[in-house]
Chains A and B, each alone.
Chain A
Amino acid sequence: MNTACENVRGHLDAYLSRELPEETSREVQRHLESCPQCAAELETRVRIRAKLQAAVRATPVPVHLQAKIRRAVRGARPRPRTGLWAVAAAALVIVCVALVSRLRVQANPEEAILRKTTGRLAAVLNVGLRDHLHCAVFRKYSKQPEAARQMAADLGPGFADLVALVQAKLPGDFRIIQGHHCNAGGRQYTHLIIASGAGGGKIVSLILTRRQTGESLTGSIHQAGVDRFQVVGFASHDYLAYVISDLDAQQNLQLAANLAPALREYLAEHST
């Protein structure tokens, strides 16, 4: 391969992409007409590019994605075309809202934290977080473990066996201190409150609630950090399940991942 060939091969891809200046392109063209080796090399690069295009373009697009995007778009408002006056007015509104929400923060700490959840799964992650805040964080209750009999009675025959199942999957220094059914924001929950002995008593909630129309957490486990809380949520059969705590993200996720397989089985039996 001589210098001319080396020079041309350096330009071959740009030649294929029609990115060469006209004069250079003509020079490459002339060389290719008289050099079978470089012409063969061009042929190889054409084939590789065609194969690459075919392989990438064969990537199957999930069939539900278009409908999912349409739904998301229709549920979100676009930013309007605004003039300067409108920007000023919007800024004023933001200041007012900020002032009002500061007042509301003082009035209702639960709602203030729930408003910090962002992302498209905010609503469904807040379903669990609401109960954790309401029942395990801002409610006054004894941090001493309840008697097993008391928990069994509070959970009723339907869920009494949940305590042993969960306790078996928890690390040694975590203990279930309460088990009951509770109500937050007009919704029923099954709730285990778990305390970790180590490191100054972290509180973990395992929360189960029946899934309502339109609520989904498809596929895998979902995780979000909201304020000082870590929320892990997943759906199983007719239920949404949450593990929420003030542990660090990795610990909380690990706890949830340990519980998930057994819980999925358990909830399959409890679903109609």
Chain B
Amino acid sequence: MDSKLPQTGEFEKAALPHLNELYRTAARLLGDGTQAEDVVQETYLQAWKSFARFEPGTNCRAWLFKILVNTIHHYRRGWFNLRRVKESEEILEHTAAGGAPVPERIAQQEILRALGRLPADYRAAVLLADVEEFSYKEIAGLLGVPIGTVMSRLSRGRKLLREQLSELAQSYGIGEGGA
């Protein structure tokens, strides 16, 4: 039986190169780095536990993202029995630690804030399509919705984002702004 068990080395080689993409997606979807860490770790544990069922040669990245999306779904529904609660003292520490950001950073922070204001379903679709560059068909599979739903979420999400960014675009020279 042991000879059929997948090896950790094999798993780490296939799965760990995607850590950054999974983490940044989780961080943007949950809006919290600490929660993102928990969710990404849980994603890797789930992936490892079912690695035997993963077909070598198929898309490991899409497989990991599918597990991530499910894990976040469970997380939001409170199915994790463990929650982290920030203490006021810790929040104060974070607030005190922020330095003056450079202009490029301000622009990035503004964009991330605009992204963060999108409804969660739109945000997930926009992140998966425009940042992680999954195809519409792949996104439908990842989110478990019909491709038409993906397209309408993308269309609305991108439009909202453009509207929010149009002022910003003028002040930072992205362009003329929305239509």
- Whether, in the assembled complex, B136 has its beta carbon less than 8 Å from a beta carbon of chain A, the answer is yes
Contacting B80 at CB < 8 Å: which of A19, A66, A119? A119
Contacts of B50 in A (CB 8 A): 78-79
**Is B111 part of the contact surface with A, judged by Cβ < 8 Å?**
yes
Asked if A92 is at the interface (CB within 8 A of a chain B CB), the reply is no
Whole-angstrom distance from the CB of A91 to the nearest CB of chain B?
16
The closest CB in chain A to the CB of B154 belongs to: A13
Contact B82 A55 (CB under 8 A): no
Report A271 CB to chain B, min CB distance, Å.
Answer: 18
Q: Is A56 an interface residue (CB 8 A)?
A: yes
Contact present for B49 and A118 (CB under 8 Å) = no
- B90 pairs with A220, CB closer than 8 A: yes
- In chain B between 10 and 61, which residues have their CB closer than 8 angstroms to a CB of chain A? 11-12, 16, 19-20, 23-25, 27-28, 33-34, 37, 40-41, 44-45, 48-53
B5 at the interface (CB under 8 A from A): yes
CB–CB A44/B24 < 8 A: no
Query: Size range of the interface on B?
Result: 35 or more
**Cβ-defined contact, B155 with A48, below 8 A:** no
Contact, CB under 8 Å: A51 / B158: no
- Cα distance A72–B19 when bound, in Å? 14
Q: Which residue of A lies closest to B176 (CB)?
A: A44
A94-102, A195-203, A253-261: which one contacts chain B? A253-261
Set of chain A residues within 8 Å of B155, measured between Cβ atoms = 10, 13
Asked whether B1 is an interface residue with its Cβ less than 8 Å from the other chain, the reply is: yes
Whether the pair A51, B174 counts as a contact (CB closer than 8 A) is: yes
**1/0 contact string of B118-154 vs chain A (CB within 8 Å):** 0000000011011101011000000000000001001
Given contacts A19-B135, A76-B48, contact A44 B175 (CB under 8 A): yes
Task: Find out whether the CB atom of B87 lies under 8 angstroms from the CB atom of A47.
Answer: no
Cα distance A225–B5 in the bound complex, in angstroms: 33
Q: Which of B50-100 contact A (CB under 8 A)?
A: 50-53, 80-90
Q: Give Cα distance in the complex from A79 to B133, angstroms.
A: 31
Instruction: Kindly list chain A residues whose C-beta atoms are within 8 Å of the C-beta of B158.
Output: 13
> Contacting chain B: which of A24-32, A57-65, A184-192?
A57-65
Q: Using CB atoms, name the residue of chain B closest to A9.
A: B179
Task: Tell whether A80 pairs with B52 under 8 Å between CB atoms, given A52-B111, A73-B11, A219-B34.
Answer: yes
CB–CB A69/B44 < 8 A: yes
**Chain A, Cβ-Cβ closest to B52:** A81
The yes or no answer to A180 lying at the interface (CB within 8 A) is no
A19 CB contacts on chain B under 8 angstroms: 135-136
**Cα distance A59–B20 in the bound complex, in angstroms:** 9
Determine whether the beta carbon of B52 is less than 8 Å from that of A66.
Answer: no
A contacts with B, residue count (CB < 8 A):
56
List residues of chain B with CB within 8 A of the CB of A257.
85, 87-88
- Bound Cα distance from A78 to B80, whole angstroms: 20
With beta carbons under 8 angstroms apart, the residue of B20, B85, B87, B174 that contacts A44 is: B174
Assess A40 versus B174: contact at CB under 8 Å? Given A13-B158, A52-B161, A69-B16: no
Which chain B residue has the least Cβ–Cβ distance from A121?
Answer: B82
Whether, in the assembled complex, A111 has its beta carbon less than 8 Å from a beta carbon of chain B, the answer is no
Contact B136 A17 (CB under 8 A): yes
Q: Is A209 an interface residue (CB 8 A)?
A: no
Cβ contact within 8 Å between B165 and A48: yes
CB <8 Å contact, B5 and A80 = yes
A-B contact pairs, 26 of them (CB 8 A): A17-B129, A17-B136, A44-B174, A44-B178, A47-B174, A48-B165, A52-B130, A53-B130, A55-B107, A55-B108, A65-B40, A65-B41, A69-B16, A69-B41, A72-B44, A77-B5, A78-B49, A79-B53, A80-B1, A80-B52, A81-B4, A119-B81, A220-B85, A220-B90, A222-B83, A225-B81
Other A-B pairs, 17, CB within 8 Å; known A70-B16, A77-B5, A220-B90: A14-B136, A19-B135, A44-B169, A55-B107, A61-B20, A62-B23, A62-B37, A65-B41, A68-B41, A73-B8, A73-B48, A74-B8, A79-B49, A80-B1, A80-B52, A81-B53, A219-B90
Q: Residues of A at under 8 Å CB distance from B?
A: 1, 9-10, 13-14, 17, 19, 40-41, 43-45, 47-49, 51-59, 61-62, 65-66, 68-70, 72-74, 76-81, 86, 118-121, 219-225, 253, 257, 260-261
